[in-house]
Structure 1
Amino acid sequence: MSQTANTNPLSRRDFIKASAASVAGLGLASRAYAAGSDTIRVGLIGCGGQGTRDLISCVRSSPGVEIVAMGDLFKDHLQQSLAKLKEEVPTAVKVQPDKQFVGFDAHRRVVQCDLDMVLLTAPPHWRAEHFQAAVEAGKHVFMEKPGGVDPVGIRSVIATAEVARQKRLSVVAGTQRRHSKKYRETIRRIHDGQIGEIVAAQVYWNGGDMLGYWQWWDKGNLSDMEWQCRSWPWFTWTSGDHIVEQHVHNLDVVNWALDAHPEQCMGMGGREVRDLGNIYDHFAVEYEYAKGVRVASQCRQINGTTSRIAERIVGTKGYADVDRGVIAGEKPFTYEGPDPDHYVQEMANLIQSIRDGSPINEGKQVAESTMNAIMGRMSAYSGRALKWDWAMKASKLDLRPPKYDWIDLPVRPVAIPGKTPLV
């Protein structure tokens, strides 16, 4: 069904005004919370399946959470999400009709509502713009991974994360492994030297096609823009490709274990069976960190293939399968403690930080882990090796369309290594 509600289209110039606001003259978060008992008023920007699930986890993570505003590009998404919320967490739903916003500017209208915290769960393309708007409005933030789709957006997220730090706003990202007791204990032991000095790592997200989990829309009479936005997982400009949208989880674990980002990478990939959109269905990337540490990365979305979603960190005295909570070698260990739902735990940690007035800020770390993935994609698309400093500081790659409206927007061609330029 086509949904082309009347909105206020934003020009490219409107979109790119100041990648992050100056901290000068910006106020601090104003509301105080005592003894963990006060109400947290929450808004949702991006009412798809993941955003709805995240908001349900948020409500279930802590008492006193109220949903007061919602926004999405499409009215049908918002209404479906609202119906699901009323079914799953009915007493938390306080969203009046005048706090239900649709269109390209819905995020700006949500953050201007009387709320404390906002969930940013629209497709990755919009992360930088939505994050900036939320922090400018003085809201605490949960933002889904990844942190963006191109270097221009990543630089904006890092700048906005610094503004959030100056304003004492909490920012938690959807890299929920960082909030897992099993992962945290295993990484703590790695940092304590239990596997010796790290010399290598291998990370994987090899699984099936996501068709069925995500909806593919037939174009029909939809405008190019609406069709691509509705089918966002299969277009690079909206999703970043699956190495960015999905494999970022595993790459984030490596950065966490090494407490660093890579210095350079070289990758390859392609479309073996995929015929939707313009993204690849497999990648293999080698990342090189300081001291010659090399990380082998694989991700694949092809049905009927062997699945592996894992992170192994290799040291001079053993190795850690972080996803299993297992260390082998001179000091073996197996995590056998509790490991509550990671999605609920990340929300509980965020809300507790707000109530305690002790902000946590994961903005930069998710941006850097996302840049790992973006670098890998850029290398695979172009067939070129590239360095972190160039990608982070010099790359001009910017996947934004010329304007945000229901426009003609030809699909970019599938990348061809050796021909697609490195921008």
Structure 2
Amino acid sequence: MGKEIKSPFFNKLSRREFVKASSITAGGLLLGSLPLGTSAYAAGSDMLKIALIGCGSRGTGAAANALSSTEGVQLVAMADILEEQLADSYRILSTRYADTDKVNVPEEHKFVGFDGFKDAISLADVVLLTTPTFFRPLHFDEAVHQGKHVFMEKPVAVDPAGVRRVLEAGKKAKEQNLNVVVGLQRRYDMRYRELHRRLQDGQIGEIISGQVYWNQGPFFIRERQPGWSELEHQIRNHFHFIWQAGDQVLDQMIHNIDVANWYLGEHPVTAQGMGGREVRTGKEYGQIFDHNFIEYTYPSGAVISAQCRQIPGVFNIVTERFNGSKGFLSTGGPEGPTIHDRRKNELFRYEGEDDPSPYDHEHVELFDAIRSGNTIDNTEYASISTMTAIMGFMATYSGQFLEWDEALNSDKRMYPHHDLLPEDVTWDTPAPVQPKEDGYYPVPVPGVTEVL
């Protein structure tokens, strides 16, 4: 468990070793007291200025988590492509922190449009990147270019090319000793950290197999409004379009997949699976499947079964379970966060009702690292888990058996699209995917859809 393997993180001509889980902290690679280099913030400064890029519900929540996590932080800039979304976010945050100086965003620091993120980033020490996933590689690249510390939501990309771009930007961030925290918050959850510690101590032996689940009801849908262009409709309903958010495998089950990679200390080398649209078949549901099942095989020989669905009225579960040579580990679900031996005797049960929220704690550790001069860098493992999830829905969409190297290096896009460069985009720009004459969008077909 946790042995080193090779991975072509950047391209076929350049390879880097995947770092064992036992050699990194749960929060990320701690690089010690290296100098901050070109970082925008010097350790010891009084105030950390924050810019929020993407002001939807997740962005507003992330900003609240950041502002509540410590003193000496202030929101100074906001950017979004939707004016009313930025206004709502500002109203919520300014009301919540009305009796403090934590929200100080004058009108001239509110940027609306596809290219507003650049100006907002320039005003901050730390940027929160919380837009729909498609834009993440572009925004991360710009934040690193400007020498800013970063919190970015998961996933970090929607396709292999995006993952490679994030990894390349991550190299530049590391050269500048910038802090990068990614919202895979289970890594900052005390329950998961304690179970991981006991796993590393050998309490269940070698992991042989595991099951991870994200089964829930459907995502919300925003009904198309008069005056919306096709591009605006798709962005407002980004969960339902592959080019915007991938699939549920990527947008949600990445959390479970990340735990599997973390606990095993390696990423899978193959994936195969199945999925489809059984219930959510209307045109309003865009393109993604409503159920997926993926079988990942790891270098150690362990097999992780991953399932997710978005169907109403059925059994729901969100958890992870790992089967070892000496026992079983559950992170939640019916058994709770427990370790059992192979005779099902309970050996450990985690009790942590007073634990800090991992959504807050990831920001606590980010700000502590900035102020101390240490560096947290989640880029690598977040990119690996993003790619693991992408390989999963590539396998279910195509119905093919996929290997890690060929998936990571694929430039095949199921639906041709440009990069939506902000200087070229308006709401009248054609959306990357178009509905057919009957109003339905093209949907992947296993055995027909090509992903390599």
Letter in 2 for 1:99: H
Is the contact between residue 125 and residue 149 of structure 2 (CA under 8 Å) also seen in structure 1?
yes
Distance 1:41 1:286, change over 3 A: same
**Equivalent in the alignment of 1:315:** 324
Greater Cα offset, 300-309 or 85-94: 85-94
Letter in 1 for 2:403: K
Cα-to-partner distance string for 1:206-225 (whole Å, 9 max, x where unaligned): 011122xxx52315331111
Q: CA deviation at 1:132?
A: 0.5
Counterpart check, 1:112 vs 2:134? no
Alignment coverage as a number of residue pairs: 392
TM-score (structure 2 length as normaliser): 0.84
Q: CA deviation at 1:401?
A: 3.0
Give the secondary structure class of the aligned counterpart of 1:297. strand
**Equivalent in the alignment of 1:122:** 131
Cα-to-partner distance string for 1:351-407 (whole Å, 9 max, x where unaligned): 111111101000111111111111111111111110111111244338673343322
Q: CA deviation at 1:325?
A: 2.6
TM-score (structure 1 length as normaliser): 0.89
Q: Percentage identity across aligned positions? A: 42
- The one of 88, 98, 106 equivalent to 1:80 is 88
Counterpart check, 1:364 vs 2:380? yes
Counterpart check, 1:102 vs 2:108? no
- The one of 49, 67, 71 equivalent to 2:75 is 67
Greater Cα offset, 408-417 or 122-131: 408-417
Is the contact between residue 414 and residue 451 of structure 2 (CA under 8 Å) also seen in structure 1?
no
Give the secondary structure class of the aligned counterpart of 2:211. strand
**Equivalent in the alignment of 1:17:** none
Q: CA deviation at 1:342?
A: 1.1
**Equivalent in the alignment of 2:340:** 328
Counterpart check, 1:405 vs 2:426? yes
Mapped to 2, the partners of 1:345 and 1:291 lie a distance apart of 32
Give the secondary structure class of the aligned counterpart of 1:397. coil
Q: How does 1:4-153 map to 2 (within 5 A)?
A: 28-34=38-44, 38-90=46-98, 91=100, 92-113=102-123, 115-153=124-162
What is the RMSD computed on CA atoms of the aligned residues? Answer: 1.7
Letter in 2 for 1:263: V
Distance 1:398 1:271, change over 3 A: closer
Letter in 2 for 1:420: T
Mapped to 2, the partners of 1:339 and 1:124 lie a distance apart of 29
**Equivalent in the alignment of 2:12:** none
Cα-to-partner distance string for 1:261-286 (whole Å, 9 max, x where unaligned): 10010011111111211111110000
**Equivalent in the alignment of 1:11:** none
Cα-to-partner distance string for 1:181-238 (whole Å, 9 max, x where unaligned): 1110101111121110111111000011122xxx523153311111111111111111
Give the secondary structure class of the aligned counterpart of 1:54. helix
Mapped to 2, the partners of 1:57 and 1:394 lie a distance apart of 36
**Equivalent in the alignment of 2:272:** 266
Cα-to-partner distance string for 1:36-89 (whole Å, 9 max, x where unaligned): x72110000000000001100111000111000000011111001000101212
Unmatched runs of 5 consecutive residues or more in structure 2: 1-35, 436-440
Mapped to 2, the partners of 1:315 and 1:208 lie a distance apart of 31
Mapped to 2, the partners of 1:415 and 1:249 lie a distance apart of 24
Letter in 1 for 2:426: D
Mapped to 2, the partners of 1:336 and 1:88 lie a distance apart of 31
Mapped to 2, the partners of 1:79 and 1:272 lie a distance apart of 38
Mapped to 2, the partners of 1:89 and 1:242 lie a distance apart of 34
Letter in 2 for 1:340: P
**Equivalent in the alignment of 2:408:** 392
Distance 1:399 1:66, change over 3 A: farther
**Equivalent in the alignment of 2:168:** 159
Greater Cα offset, 230-239 or 329-338: 329-338
Greater Cα offset, 157-166 or 399-408: 399-408
**Equivalent in the alignment of 2:13:** none
Cα-to-partner distance string for 1:115-158 (whole Å, 9 max, x where unaligned): 11000000001110000000110110000011111000011111
Give the secondary structure class of the aligned counterpart of 2:376. coil
Distance 1:87 1:220, change over 3 A: same
Is the contact between residue 40 and residue 148 of structure 2 (CA under 8 Å) also seen in structure 1?
no
- The one of 235, 258, 270 equivalent to 2:241 is 235
Mapped to 1, the partners of 2:415 and 2:377 lie a distance apart of 26
**Equivalent in the alignment of 1:348:** 364
Is the contact between residue 217 and residue 230 of structure 1 (CA under 8 Å) also seen in structure 2?
no
Distance 1:347 1:320, change over 3 A: same
Is the contact between residue 414 and residue 449 of structure 2 (CA under 8 Å) also seen in structure 1?
no
Give the secondary structure class of the aligned counterpart of 1:348. helix
Q: CA deviation at 1:98?
A: 0.9
Is the contact between residue 176 and residue 342 of structure 1 (CA under 8 Å) also seen in structure 2?
yes
